[in-house]
């Protein structure tokens, strides 16, 4: 009956979302009077899970699963859920987890709710609150099947320490050849850069920057804050910045703790993609820019004067804190 | 090659979102509906396969008669024919089940669905169809080429992309990148005229099961006004972010 989470890792180390899932699952498990089991796939050291309330870990170590394969990973998670007789399976909102979640839900004949924000509102019937309508509304969804699959919106719950004693167990799910119908040929990934998906802070800039040659200060600001860089759609359409940095409705979604928008007017499509970020700061010369309506903090003024000053001030702030 | 493009009929992004019946129904009053943007990128790529490789393109939607203008628009853009499954789409699983049935009866090599719709943002329909039919499945697909039965595609991953190989039959969850924004087509008069005479088949749904139900909708609490900080006092901004918002 244990609650099952898939604790994701990259290159053998846990992603931060794994700890958010563990914290969330622990809370639900305590209310239900049950325990939390995690499944890990090719993760080297799983002991950190005991800091966040996980009671048991099923460790899968299989060289066939070295690269992400949605069907094979979904198959492993399904078998873990069956082994643990789990009624609630909790996944994250990473690109990989959103890929495999519907496959898991079909194989377990489970109802699936994605983009879940906050703890279940009720456990019987099982109701959760989700983000919908591109963050313009919340939807309360009831999952009516005995087995439930949830994917939790990043940063919507938080990470809470909760020491537990962790039982480790090796787990060898049977993986079929038919799980490998899609084969990875190559991966293109910028190394050493904070990705928009993983970042707690995102620094984004728009056409107000006037040209690609002016991005040096944006990158420097991001480095000082340990942030990822992003851009508005016109900037990526103009080829000033790579497509992978485009955030907004047709670009990447952002659910950061802090989103700083510099020289971005705040078109509704842009806001739709970034609005689940917790704190939004806007720097813009135009006090009428629509972004000020959705921002928490704003500075009206010229980015070319403000950003270099901000970098200097943040450097001395970081040195003293 | 037979391609099926799954089309979701969604409120335009700029629409005001409101609810009626005690916040249990979406208020369609005054709302402009469009082809879901992620589906439109896929549709445009399908039309490319039609023009360059002789593919036949069918579009399908699960919805009531009010969704037909959206299907007609897809026909005007260039799809060969359309299917409407005459049912209220109660949840993602129900829609996936209906579409899987259409695919089983239709001999399609490639199924393209948007990775997510703009209304419910479930992101589950393409994956569920793949699960129901056992098709090869590529989600967050940003490039797709096909020769014979061989598929080469790119998938967006966190922080980059991945090149993958697969075989038809295949289902993809598509998005921007399959084609670029500038490649999207606005139907011309000739397209609109021919769309009127193209075949739009209405079929009845199979089994009425859903696995989730919408209980109610809620709009976020109104936002408090932005706190403006003077450009000459950036120390205050840093202090607010550190002490009040606690994000740095």
Q: What is the pLDDT of residues B88-117, one digit of tens each?
A: 999 999 999 999 999 999 999 999 999 999
* Whether residues A146 and A250 fall in one domain: no
Is residue A110 over pLDDT 80?
yes
Rounded Cα distance between B64 and B85, Å, is: 8
Same domain flag for A46 and A97: yes
What DSSP state is assigned to residue B240?
A: I
Residues in chain B closer than 8 A to A292 (CB atoms): 226
Task: With a cut of 80, say whether residue B49 has pLDDT above it.
Answer: yes
Backbone angles phi, psi at A228, to 5 degrees: -90, 155
Q: What's the confidence (pLDDT) of residue A176?
A: 92
A187 assigned to some structural domain: no
Which residue, chain included where needed, has tokens 């967050």?
Answer: B140
Residues A106, A18 within the same domain: yes
A216 and A161 in a single domain? The answer is no
* For range B63-90, the mean pLDDT: 98
A11 assigned to some structural domain = yes
Question: Best residue in A108, A133, A227, A293 to probe B by mutation, most B CBs within 10 Å?
Answer: A133
Beta-carbon contacts below 8 Å between A and B? 256
Residue A139 lies in a domain: yes
Return the residue matching tokens 């089309």.
Answer: B7
Q: Where does the pLDDT of residue B7 fall: very low under 50, low under 70, confident under 90, or very high at 90 and above?
A: very high
Helix (H) or strand (E) holding A115: strand A111-116
Domain of residue A48: give its range: 3-180
SS3 state of residue A57 = strand
Question: Rounded to a whole number, what is the distance in Å from the CA of B154 to chain A's nearest CA?
Answer: 9
Q: What DSSP assignment string belongs to B197-232?
A: HS-EEEEPPS----SEEEEEEEPPPPPPPPEE--TT
Mean pLDDT of A144-166: 96
Position A135 scores a pLDDT of 87
Cβ of A187 within 8 Å of Cβ of B167? The answer is no
Looking at the domain assignment, is residue A125 inside a domain?
Answer: yes
Tell me, yes or no, whether A171 and A240 share the same domain.
no
Please tell me which residue of chain B has the smallest CA distance to A277.
B247
B169 preceded by a cis bond (ω within 30 of 0): yes
Within-domain flag for A213: yes
CATH, residue A288? 3.40.50.1220
Q: Which of A86, A8, A81 is nearest to A40 (CA)?
A: A8
Q: Report chain A residues whose CB lies below 8 A from the CB of B134.
A: 178
Interface contact flag, A181 B136, Cβ < 8 Å: yes
> Do residue A140 and residue A15 come from a single domain?
yes
Instruction: Give the residue from A180, A209, A226 where a domain finishes.
Output: A180
Do residue A167 and residue A215 come from a single domain?
no
The residue in chain B having the minimum alpha-carbon distance to the alpha carbon of residue A230 is: B159
Q: Label residue A245 by pLDDT band (50, 70, 90).
A: very high
Q: List the beta bridge partners of residue B60.
A: B6, B83
pTM of the prediction?
A: 0.94
CA–CA separation, A85 and A249 (whole Å): 38
| Whole-number average pLDDT of chain A | 96
Check: CB of residue A206 under 8 Å from CB of residue A265.
yes
Query: Residue A288 half-sphere exposure, CB side, CA atoms within 13 Å?
Result: 0
CATH number at residue A116: 3.40.50.620
Helix axes A95-107, B92-104, angle to 10 degrees: 70
A191 domain residue, yes or no: no
Q: Is residue A236 part of a domain?
A: yes
Buried b (16+ CB within 10 A) or exposed e, A9-47: bbeeebbebbbbbbbbbbbbbeebebbbbbbbbbbeebe
Domain's final residue, options A180, A215, A250: A180
The answer to whether residues A148 and A206 belong to one domain is no
* pLDDT score for A321: 85
- Name the least confident of A217-226, A281-290, A308-317, B219-228: B219-228
A contact test, residue of B34, B122, B150 with most A CBs within 10 A: B122
Point out which residues pair with A188 in neighbouring strands: B161
Q: Is A12 on the interface with B (CB under 8 A)?
A: no
Q: Is a pLDDT exceeding 90 seen at residue B223?
A: no
Cα A229 from Cα A217, distance rounded (Å): 11
- Confirm or reject contact between A9 and chain B (CB < 8 A): no
- Split at pLDDT 50, 70, 90, the class of A273 is very high
Averaged pLDDT of chain B = 96
Give the pLDDT band of residue A193 (cuts 50, 70, 90).
confident
For residue B25, the chain A residue with the least C-alpha distance is A139
The mean per-residue pLDDT over the stretch A205-234 comes to 97
Task: Indicate the pLDDT class of residue A101, thresholds 50, 70 and 90.
Answer: very high
- Domains (range + CATH), chain B: 2-219 (3.40.50.620)
| pLDDT of the residue at B207 | 85
Counting Cβ atoms within 10 Å, is residue B223 exposed (0-12), middle (13-18) or buried (19+)?
A: exposed
- Cross-strand partners of A64: none
Count of domains observed in chain A: 2
Collect all residues of chain B within an 8 Å Cβ-Cβ radius of residue A272.
13
So what's the pLDDT on residue A134? 87
Name every chain B residue with its beta carbon within 8 A of the beta carbon of A115.
121-123
Tell me, yes or no, whether A104 and A213 share the same domain.
no
């Amino acid at each position: 009956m244990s609650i099952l989470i898939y604790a994701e890792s990259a290159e053998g180390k846990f992603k931060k979302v794994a700890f958010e899932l563990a914290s969330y699952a622990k809370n639900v498990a305590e209310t239900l009077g049950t325990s939390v089991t995690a499944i890990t796939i090719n993760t080297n050291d799983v002991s950190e899970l005991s800091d966040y309330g996980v009671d048991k870990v099923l460790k899968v170590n299989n060289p066939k699963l070295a690269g992400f394969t949605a069907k094979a990973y979904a198959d492993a998670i399904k078998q873990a859920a069956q082994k643990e007789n789990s009624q609630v399976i909790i996944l994250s909102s990473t690109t990989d987890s959103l890929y495999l979640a519907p496959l898991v839900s079909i194989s377990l004949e489970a109802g699936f709710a994605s983009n879940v924000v906050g703890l279940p509102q009720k456990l019987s019937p099982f109701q959760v609150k989700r983000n919908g309508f591109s963050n313009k509304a919340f939807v309360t969804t009831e999952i009516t099947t005995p087995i439930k699959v949830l994917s939790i919106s990043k940063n919507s719950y938080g990470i809470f320490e909760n020491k537990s004693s962790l039982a480790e167990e090796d787990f060898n799910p049977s993986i079929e050849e038919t799980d490998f119908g899609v084969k990875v040929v190559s991966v293109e990934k910028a190394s050493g850069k904070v990705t928009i998906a993983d970042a707690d802070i995102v620094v984004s800039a728009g056409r107000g920057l006037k040209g690609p040659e002016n991005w040096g200060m944006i990158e420097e600001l991001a480095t000082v804050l340990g942030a990822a860089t992003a851009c508005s759609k016109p900037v990526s359409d103009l080829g000033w910045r790579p497509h992978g940095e485009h955030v907004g409705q047709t670009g990447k979604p952002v659910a950061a703790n802090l989103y700083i928008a510099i020289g971005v007017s705040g078109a509704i499509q842009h806001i739709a993609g970034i609005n689940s970020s917790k704190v939004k700061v806007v720097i813009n010369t135009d006090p009428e820019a629509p972004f000020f309506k959705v921002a928490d903090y704003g500075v009206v003024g010229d980015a070319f004067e403000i950003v270099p000053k901000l970098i200097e001030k943040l450097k001395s702030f970081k040195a003293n804190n | 090659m037979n391609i099926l493009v799954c089309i979701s009929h969604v409120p335009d992004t700029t629409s005001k979102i409101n609810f009626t019946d005690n916040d249990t129904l979406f208020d369609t009053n005054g709302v402009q509906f469009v082809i879901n943007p992620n589906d439109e990128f896929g549709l445009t790529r399908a039309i490319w396969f039609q023009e360059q490789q002789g593919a036949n393109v069918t579009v399908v939607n699960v919805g009531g008669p009010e969704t037909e203008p959206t299907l007609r628009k897809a026909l005007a853009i260039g799809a060969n024919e359309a299917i409407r499954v005459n049912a209220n789409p109660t949840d993602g699983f129900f829609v996936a089940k209906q579409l899987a049935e259409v695919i089983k009866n239709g001999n399609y090599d490639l199924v393209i669905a948007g990775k997510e719709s703009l209304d419910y943002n479930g992101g589950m329909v393409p994956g569920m169809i793949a699960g129901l039919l056992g098709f090869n499945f590529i989600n967050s697909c940003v490039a797709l080429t096909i020769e014979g039965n061989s598929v080469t595609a790119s998938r967006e991953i966190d922080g980059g992309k991945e090149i993958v190989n697969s075989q038809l039959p295949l289902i993809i969850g598509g998005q921007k990148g399959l084609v670029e924004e500038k490649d999207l087509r606005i139907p011309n008069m000739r397209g609109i005229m021919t769309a009127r005479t193209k075949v739009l088949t209405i079929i009845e749904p199979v089994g009425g099961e859903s696995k989730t139900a919408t209980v109610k909708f809620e709009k976020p609490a109104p936002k408090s006004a932005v706190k403006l900080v003077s450009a000459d006092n950036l120390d205050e901004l840093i202090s607010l972010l550190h002490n009040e918002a606690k994000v740095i």
